[in-house]
């Protein structure tokens, strides 16, 4: 019954491609200094001609190869490992690799659709004939550990493969193997302070890790001519743009952006608290931390209102949201500028 050490972190769950690797990395205390210097910077992009909404994420979402050994397997490599994906999982888990696996999530949920999502497999039990995974599931459907029968998981994997062969998905590498790499690291207050400065300046900063591991790279495809990139506090511009579209009825509300905005405030608060403790700055930062804690609470409340918002009330809430975001941006900028001045490392 092999089971690898796994931390079901819930600080970042907006996108599985970034959340699942953190469950591997943060299972090991040596990784925390690396983690606490990062996940401050935000990046967003938007192309009006694409017909899609702005996309907002942490700039560090794909930065985990710094602390994890990563290897991707295409469909042929998975098939070569045995007649079932379970054969590959058993072999790799026994060798110390977590396995991120794309399956047809709607099949697992008993729904007559096809939707490919990834799960992090960290264990298996031949007696129960189940895999232990991390992903969204249960009732209520939240980010958690789950147990899925071998047969159901293998069938969901085959359904995903069929969807790809039929051109309904672009997943070309359905499995990623992850294993912690020894990375001696000590927390650098200076690096965190620089990340805060980059966020405030709206500049890309030291890291800008984007892309995918599961799809084939595009061959020199140019960016859309109207593609607009934003970093740091400037990403509020895209949040405001989206709410303005919701207010005007030209777009439906994309909750994910505001879920991530809320997670960002929680991430920054944790880093400010750690910074205060590491640098013995509890007293000079006390008022600032209290104010940022209140900001975090307010953004979380706004997120929850949007989560349970009836569609017919979206336009009205968007008007309130535009005013709220303006206050959040102004307050956050003022508080973080104070932190950078007090820390005085840069």
Residue partners of 333: CB distance under 8 A and separation at least 6: 200, 233
Q: For tokens 């977590």, what's the residue? A: 98
DSSP label of 72: E
List the beta strands (DSSP E) in the chain.
Answer: 42-46, 55-58, 68-73, 98-104, 116-125, 130-137, 142-149, 175-180, 228-231
User: Which pLDDT belongs to residue 170?
Assistant: 87
How many alpha carbons fall within 13 Å on the CB side of residue 202? 11
User: What string of DSSP letters covers 215-250?
Assistant: BPPPSSPPPPTT-EEEEGGGGHHHHHHHHHHHHHTS
Query: Residue 75's closest CA among 179, 167, 17, 158?
Result: 158
User: Which pLDDT belongs to residue 192?
Assistant: 94
Burial class (CB in 10 A: 0-12, 13-18, 19+), 216: exposed
Burial class (CB in 10 A: 0-12, 13-18, 19+), 147: middle
The answer to whether residues 142 and 136 touch, using CB atoms and an 8 Å cutoff, is yes
> For residue 67, what are its two tokens?
């602390």
> For residue 116, what are its two tokens?
């490919």
Model confidence, pTM = 0.94
Split the chain (346 residues) into runs of 10 and give each run's mean pLDDT: 94 97 96 96 93 93 95 95 95 98 94 92 98 91 96 97 90 96 87 95 74 69 84 98 96 96 99 95 95 99 95 94 98 97 74
For the stretch 60-64, contacts whose Cβ atoms lie closer than 8 Å and that sit 24 or more positions apart, written own/partner, are 60/207, 60/209, 61/15, 61/17, 61/18, 61/209, 61/210, 62/17, 62/18, 62/209, 62/210, 62/211, 63/38, 63/207, 63/209, 64/18, 64/21, 64/22, 64/24, 64/25
């Amino acid at each position: 019954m092999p089971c690898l050490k796994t931390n079901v972190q819930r600080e970042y769950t907006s996108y599985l491609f970034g959340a699942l690797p953190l469950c591997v990395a943060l299972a090991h205390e040596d990784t925390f200094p690396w983690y606490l210097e990062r996940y401050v910077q935000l990046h967003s992009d938007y192309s009006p001609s694409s017909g899609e909404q702005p996309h907002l994420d942490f700039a560090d979402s794909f930065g985990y190869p710094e602390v994890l050994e990563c290897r991707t397997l295409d469909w042929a490599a998975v098939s070569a490992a045995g007649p079932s994906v379970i054969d590959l999982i058993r072999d790799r888990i026994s060798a110390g690799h977590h396995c991120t696996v794309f399956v047809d999530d709607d099949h697992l949920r008993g729904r007559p659709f096809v939707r490919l999502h990834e799960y992090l497999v960290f264990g298996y039990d031949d007696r129960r004939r189940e895999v232990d995974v991390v992903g969204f599931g249960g009732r209520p459907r939240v980010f958690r550990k789950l147990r899925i029968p071998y047969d159901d998981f293998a069938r969901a994997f085959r359904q995903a493969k069929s969807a790809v062969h039929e051109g309904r998905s672009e997943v070309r590498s359905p499995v990623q193997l992850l294993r912690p790499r020894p990375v001696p690291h000590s927390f650098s207050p200076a690096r965190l302070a620089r990340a805060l400065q980059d966020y405030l300046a709206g500049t890309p900063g030291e890291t800008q890790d984007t892309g995918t591991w599961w799809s084939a790279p595009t061959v020199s495809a140019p960016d859309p001519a109207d593609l607009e990139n934003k970093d740091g506090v400037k990403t509020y511009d895209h949040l405001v743009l989206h709410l303005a579209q919701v207010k005007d009825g030209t777009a439906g509300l994309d909750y994910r952006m505001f879920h991530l905005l809320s997670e960002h405030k929680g991430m920054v608060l944790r880093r400010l608290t750690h910074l205060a403790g590491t640098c013995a700055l509890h007293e000079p930062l006390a008022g600032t931390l209290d104010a940022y804690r209140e900001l975090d609470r307010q953004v979380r409340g706004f997120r929850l209102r949007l989560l349970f918002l009836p569609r017919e009330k979206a336009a009205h809430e968007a008007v309130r949201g535009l005013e709220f975001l303006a206050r959040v941006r102004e307050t956050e900028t003022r508080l973080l500028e104070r932190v950078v001045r007090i820390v005085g490392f840069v």
